């Protein structure tokens, strides 16, 4: 498993949640965090940003968002992990060996990807460059004192990748094929752990699509819990029915003494308390694409996670 070390003088990181093409809140948040733009790159002399992925889709300024993020990464002012939307875009625009896209260009998938398609309609060469750049984004980061992943930390899935933390051509094709270790790893790391609801139950997600699986609190098991207790974020729409034993082996607890994990992905309500989810799990997706704030966590070194380390773009 690869580890990155902090080489900055003061060791500070600012971890920023899902942006989804909202460049204005991003600029505002970077300013609040003490980053200034020089020669097209936002920098702070003592700190670096870590982006949690999901730069594209939904928002009004996707090209500008990508420009800001990439310039910071290329300039050494930031790190990033891949989000499920970057992975889905790669699959949507990559043809498999059977001549079909790795991700079906269905009406549902076109709808999810529509804002990005529109943003780059007149810039096809630029879009191809960004698709190639997406492949350079790691699926996870393990630093000296904490971990970063878009949706869920899964040590077993990471181990199954045998040290391959980026999607070269071969790995991308394997990750799009159900049943492969690569598929399982990408699903877990970028989409989180999901469990199916009992037959006959479904709900509408944030985009209005019907779903029969819930995103779980991956850091806990389902033993003795109901579907409503396990769903993340909390929802009264999910039935308070005990989880069948057959689903439990797929859910393992994240140890309390394990390094803190920072993630995005889960569309917390904008008014959700800005506090750690557990003593070593933090979610930083507060639904900027639905009118919520863009939120960062200021990591200043090992120690207990703190409520006052959250900073919003408002």
Distant-in-sequence, close-in-space partners of 141: CB < 8 Å, separation ≥ 6: 2, 4, 50, 79, 81, 147, 148, 149
Give the model's pLDDT for residue 259. Answer: 96
% of the chain at pLDDT higher than 70: 95
Give the model's pLDDT for residue 8. Answer: 41
Pairwise CA distance, residues 308 & 314, whole Å: 15
Q: Buried b vs exposed e over 64-102: b needs ≥16 C-beta within 10 Å?
A: bbbbbbbbbbeeebbbbbbbbbbbbbbbbbbeeeeeebb
Pairwise CA distance, residues 157 & 150, whole Å: 14
Give the model's pLDDT for residue 278. Answer: 96
pTM: 0.94
Distant-in-sequence, close-in-space partners of 115: CB < 8 Å, separation ≥ 6: 21, 56, 57, 58, 59, 60, 62
Please, are residues 263 and 282 in contact by the beta-carbon 8 Å criterion?
yes
Structure tokens given for 187: 């699903």
Structure tokens given for 122: 């007149």
Give the model's pLDDT for residue 195. Answer: 87
Pairwise CA distance, residues 84 & 112, whole Å: 12
Please, are residues 82 and 18 in contact by the beta-carbon 8 Å criterion?
no
Pairwise CA distance, residues 35 & 311, whole Å: 13
Give the model's pLDDT for residue 11. Answer: 67
The full set of domain ranges for the chain reads 12-193+251-312
Pairwise CA distance, residues 209 & 106, whole Å: 13
> Which ranges of the chain have pLDDT less than 50?
1-2, 5-9
Give the model's pLDDT for residue 200. Answer: 84
Give the model's pLDDT for residue 303. Answer: 82
* Topology (CATH) of 12-193+251-312: Purple Acid Phosphatase; chain A, domain 2 (3.60.21)
């Amino acid at each position: 498993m690869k580890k990155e070390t902090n080489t900055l003088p003061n060791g500070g990181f600012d971890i920023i949640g899902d942006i989804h093409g909202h460049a204005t809140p991003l600029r505002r948040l970077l300013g609040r965090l003490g980053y200034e733009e020089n020669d097209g790159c936002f920098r702070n002399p003592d700190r670096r940003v870590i982006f949690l992925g999901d730069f594209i889709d939904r928002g009004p300024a996707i090209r500008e968002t990508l420009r800001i993020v990439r310039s910071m990464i290329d300039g050494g002012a930031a790190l990033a992990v891949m989000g499920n939307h970057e992975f889905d875009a790669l699959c949507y625009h990559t043809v498999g060996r059977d001549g079909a896209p790795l991700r079906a260009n269905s009406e549902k998938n076109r709808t999810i990807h529509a804002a990005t398609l529109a943003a780059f309609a007149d810039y096809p060469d630029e879009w191809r460059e960004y698709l190639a750049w997406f492949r350079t984004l790691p699926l996870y980061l393990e630093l000296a004192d904490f971990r970063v992943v878009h949706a869920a930390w899964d040590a077993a899935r990471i181990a199954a990748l045998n040290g391959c933390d980026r999607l070269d051509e071969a790995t991308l094709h394997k990750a799009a094929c159900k049943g492969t270790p690569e598929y399982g790893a990408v699903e877990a790391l970028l989409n989180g752990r999901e469990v199916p609801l009992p037959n006959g139950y479904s709900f509408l997600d944030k985009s209005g699509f019907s779903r029969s699986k819930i995103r779980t609190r991956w850091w806990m098991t389902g033993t003795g819990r109901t579907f409503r207790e396990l769903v993340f974020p909390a929802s009264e729409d999910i039935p308070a029915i005990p989880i069948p034993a057959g689903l439990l082996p797929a859910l393992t607890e994240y140890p309390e003494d394990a390094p803190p994990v920072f993630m995005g992905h889960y569309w917390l309500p904008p008014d959700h308390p800005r506090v750690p989810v557990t003593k070593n799990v933090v979610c930083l997706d507060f639904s900027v694409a639905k009118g919520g704030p863009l939120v960062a966590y200021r990591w200043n070194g090992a120690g207990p996670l703190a409520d006052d380390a959250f900073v919003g773009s408002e």
